[in-house]
Amino acid sequence: MIRSCPILFVWLFLNTISICYASELNWVAHWLGEEKREQLVMEVAREFQFIYPDIELNIEFAKTLPNQGKNFKWKSAYRIVEMINSGDITADVIYLDSIVYSHVAELLNDPEWGEKHLVDVSDQSWFQKSQKDFILNSPYYREQTGGLLVGPYIEGFFTFLWQNQETARKVGIEIKDRHMTLDDFFSYAQKLAEYNRRHNTSIPLIKLCSWNRLDILFEYLFKSLCDDPNFAIEAKYHPKKELLFLETLRVFEKLSTYQPVLNADHENLKWDEWIREYLDGDGLFIVAGSYMYSHFLGISPEKYENAIPVEPPIIQYSNGIVGDFITTFAIMKKSPNRDAALNLLKLWSEPKIADRWVAYTKNPTGLRGHLETPASDTGDDVYNRYIMDMTSKYSHLPMRFYRAPTYIFGDKNPVTPNELRAKLAQILLGKITAQEYYDNVTKRFRNL
C-alpha cells in the first residue's frame, strides 16, 4: 500500500490473490504539488511496490506533516527531533536536505547529530556508482550533513534571474538572456522606472516575497568582481574580499535610485500569491532557482511560460553559476526496516531516474544518467536550452550557493542568511546605505 496527500491510498496487486505483507516502510517524501516532481515520486513508489510486493509502503509528504513549524523544512526537522527524543521511529526514510539538517542541529543544539542518528551510505556500492564524481570527491557535500553522505543527490539547481516576458513587452525592454552586463541591468531598471512614471504604475524591478532570495543576486555580483573563481567561493576571509563586499553593496544602493525596485508588500506576501502575481505581469524579474519551473507549472499552468530564465548580470568576470546539488532523502539509523529503506534509496539512484529528473524538472542532477546531456533529449525549449548552456559554459567551475557570506568572512562570518536578505532589501528600498551596513558588519566581524 502507498499512502500520500496527506495519505494517499494506492493498492498494487500483482495477482488476483491477496498478498500478506511481511513488513512496512514509512517514508516522508517531498515535492507535493510540484507537477512532474510529484509524478516522479509516485512512479518510484509504484516501481518499489512492484519489486517488493511484501513491503507495505506508507508515504507522507513533508508539506502535510502535522508537526509545528514555519514551513515544510521546519516540519520535517520537528518530526526528526521528535523521533530522536522519543526513540519511536515513525519514518524510516526521511526528507532531509542541508537546511533541514541545520534546523535539527539547532533544535538539538548538536551540529553532529547525523553521526548518531543517520545511516551513512557512502560505502554502499550502488551509491558510489550512481553519484557524479564531484559529489564523491568534494568535502563540501559531506559538510552539509554533518560529515556524512546520507542519500542520493537527486536534486540539482541553478539560481538566476527569471524574466517576465509579458512585462518586458509591455514596457518595451529587450532583455539579454545571456551575457547580461551590469550596465544592461541598470538600463532595464531605468526604463522600467520611466515607464512607471509615465503610466502612474508601480511595477517592481524585482518582485519579492517573504521567501527572500536577494542573496543569490548578491553572490553572483560579488563573484563577478573576483579575477579568480576559486578565490571567489573559498570560505575564507581575505582583506580584498571585504572591499569587494562594500563594492557589491553599492551596486544595490545604485539600483535603489530606480524606484520601485521592490514591491512594498514583499515581507507579508505569501509564496503562492507571489508566483501568481508575478506570472500575471507584476514584476520584471524574480531572483530564484531552476526549481521554479515546477512551481510555475504546478501553480499556474496557463501562464508559466511568461517566466523564462536569464543569466544574471556580471560586473567583470564570468566566474560560474550560483547553485547547488542537494541530498533529498536519508535513513534513520534505528529504522526497523533499514534494508528496505536502503533499497528505496538505491532505486532513486538509478540512471533512469537521473534522465527522468532532468526531463521532468528541467534541472540538473547529481546522479549519473544514461545520457551524456539528458536535457538535450527532452525537447528543444527555453528551459532545456538554459540548463544545457549553463552546464556547457560553467561545468568546469565549482558551483556553490552559500546563502550566508562565509565566502567573504570565513568561519568568523557574523551575517546570517536572513539578515543579509533583509538588509539587501532595505538598501534597495533606500532605507539604509551600503556604507552603513558595511560599517555595521565589519565592526561585528572585528569584535568576534
The one-letter amino acid at 391: T
What pLDDT was estimated at residue 69? 65
- C-alpha distances in angstroms, 249 versus 178, 404, 432? 23, 15, 11
By the 8 A CB rule, do 318 and 332 touch?
no
What pLDDT was estimated at residue 22? 52
What pLDDT was estimated at residue 182? 97
What pLDDT was estimated at residue 255? 98
Take residue 216 and report the three cell numbers written for it: 543569490
Which burial class, exposed, middle or buried, applies to 18 when counting CB atoms under 10 A from its CB (0-12, 13-18, 19+)? exposed
Q: What is the pTM of this model?
A: 0.85
Backbone angles phi, psi at 428, to 5 degrees: -65, -30
65-74 exposure pattern, b = at least 16 Cβ within 10 A, e = fewer: beeebeebbb
Q: What is the pLDDT of residues 389-427, one digit of tens each?
A: 998 999 888 888 988 999 999 999 999 999 999 999 999
By the 8 A CB rule, do 152 and 366 touch?
yes
CA-to-CA distance for 25 and 405, rounded, in angstroms?
40
Helix axes 417-428, 214-223, angle to 10 degrees: 90
What are the average pLDDT values for consecutive 10-residue runs of the chain, which has 448 residues? 45 36 86 94 98 96 83 94 97 96 96 97 97 93 95 96 97 96 98 98 97 96 95 94 98 98 94 95 97 93 96 94 94 97 98 94 91 52 91 88 94 95 97 98 95
What residue has cell string 543569466? 311
What residue has cell string 563586499? 245
What pLDDT was estimated at residue 389? 92
Q: Would strands 155-164 and 329-331 be described as parallel, antiparallel, or unpaired?
A: unpaired
Domains, the chain: 23-150+326-389 (3.40.190.10), 158-321+399-447 (3.40.190.10)
Q: Which residues contact 223 (CB under 8 A, 6 or more apart)?
A: 229, 232, 233, 317, 319, 320, 322
DSSP one-letter code for 205: S
- State in Å, rounded, how far the first CA of the chain is from the last one: 54
Which burial class, exposed, middle or buried, applies to 274 when counting CB atoms under 10 A from its CB (0-12, 13-18, 19+)? buried
